[in-house]
Amino acid sequence: MPHALKGNVEGYGGMIVNTWLDRPLKISGRVFVQSKGRIESMLYDSKTALCAIPNVAIHMNRKLNDGYVYNLQADMMPLLSEESKKGALKKKICEDLNLQEENLLSCDLYLNPFESGKIWGLENEFFSAPRIDNLESVYCTFKAFLNAENDMRINVCAAFDNEEVGSNTKQGADSTFLSDVLKRIQIALGYTDEDYLCALAHSMMLSVDNAHALHPNHPEFSDATNAVFMNQGVVVKSNANQQYTSDALSVSLFRTLCERVNVPVQFFVNKSDIRGGSTLGNISSSHLSIKSVDIGCAQLAMHSANETAGVKDVEYMIQACQAFYESSLKEVSSNCWEI
């Protein structure tokens, strides 16, 4: 009887577990290798589907549609082969990277869906792809950062890792990474500590992370008066318990920018009896005292292996972020601002 070769994996963050089953998965990440007495990092992408996590057939588990709870250790192990033996994955990686197996030291590898993103809908108004949350925000802000011109301000585009597991890593938002980079800019420009603190006080940050669109099958999960929709504009998010950084000042400044470039704006709050997720804005601003507003694109199926968002909102977000990067915030008096 053949012995199946399975991968031993862990879940990352708050995923929707069952969306990972019954779909081809590839493996990607980075590997560290020994080369000429040095340790080097290399990126790895299998480029082909190497595994899948199969469901148990309904005939064998009649309760599968009755609220079955997947066990991460028993149900979520990916099938790699029924022919290969232990060590075959390491061999495959080394062959793909043209390495000797003894030179492979360690890996940070992840499963990810093999299928590519798709545009769909009667008017091609939606797109579905893995990791829309939060690669959509990264793409839009970085695109705006590259497009913008500003002789008055130093623009910064910061993208952090590990948000879904708490951000408390050396490369997460709850680290000194951002403040370290800004201080290095200060030193390189010959600014004093006082100049640096004054610059922060006259700066503003966009915390960009996607928002929950009203679900067409479950509108009861959205706030009755602050529901948002895909393709209806940039979402501004607020929360009384400060899970989002937006306040009346930062919202007013951002709305003004959006009006200048004719970008529609929506307003989101979580339903009062449903706890929503937080963003990197409040984590980052705990290290830097800086005005901030939480914004995002509306989407469905957040944390699914395949998420859905609106095509128009990508362009809206790029326009809004570019207007922000091309602006110059000025405090005229203690209660008056220009942007």
Return d(Cα 304, Cα 15) in angstroms, integer. 6
Is there a single domain that holds both residue 136 and residue 240?
yes
- Give the pLDDT mean for 18-35: 96
Is there a single domain that holds both residue 23 and residue 63?
yes
Closest Cα to residue 75, out of 58, 55, 50, 49?
Answer: 55
* Residue span of the structural domain in which 87 resides: 5-113
Where does a domain end: 98, 113, 128?
113
Where does a domain end: 70, 88, 113?
113
Is there a single domain that holds both residue 59 and residue 96?
yes
Place of tokens 């601003």: 285
How does pLDDT run across 158-207, given as a tens digit for each residue? 998 887 766 778 778 888 889 999 999 999 999 999 999 999 988 999 99
Is there a single domain that holds both residue 107 and residue 222?
no
pLDDT of residue 167: 75
Is there a single domain that holds both residue 128 and residue 267?
yes
How does pLDDT run across 81-108, given as a tens digit for each residue? 998 888 999 999 999 999 999 999 999 9
% of the chain at pLDDT higher than 90: 77
Tokens read off for 157: 């585009």
Tokens read off for 65: 């549609």
Residue 301's CATH number: 3.40.630.10
Residue 86's CATH number: 2.30.250.10
Is there a single domain that holds both residue 43 and residue 173?
no
* Average pLDDT of the residues of the chain: 93
Is there a single domain that holds both residue 310 and residue 212?
yes
Phi, psi of 22, rounded to the nearest 5 degrees: 60, 35
CB neighbours (10 Å) of residue 182? 20
Is there a single domain that holds both residue 201 and residue 317?
yes
How does pLDDT run across 47-73, given as a tens digit for each residue? 999 999 999 999 999 989 998 999 999
pLDDT of residue 204: 94
Return d(Cα 196, Cα 194) in angstroms, integer. 5
Is there a single domain that holds both residue 185 and residue 93?
no
Residue 36: pLDDT over 90? no
How does pLDDT run across 101-119, given as a tens digit for each residue? 999 999 999 999 999 999 9
Is there a single domain that holds both residue 158 and residue 56?
no
Where does a domain end: 113, 140, 172?
113
Is there a single domain that holds both residue 87 and residue 122?
no
- Give the pLDDT mean for 323-338: 88
In total, how many domains does the chain have? 2
Residue 218: pLDDT over 60? yes
Q: Position 265: which residue type?
A: V
CB neighbours (10 Å) of residue 324? 27
Is there a single domain that holds both residue 104 and residue 123?
no
Write down the H helix ranges in the chain: 88-97, 132-147, 177-188, 193-201, 248-260, 280-285, 311-325
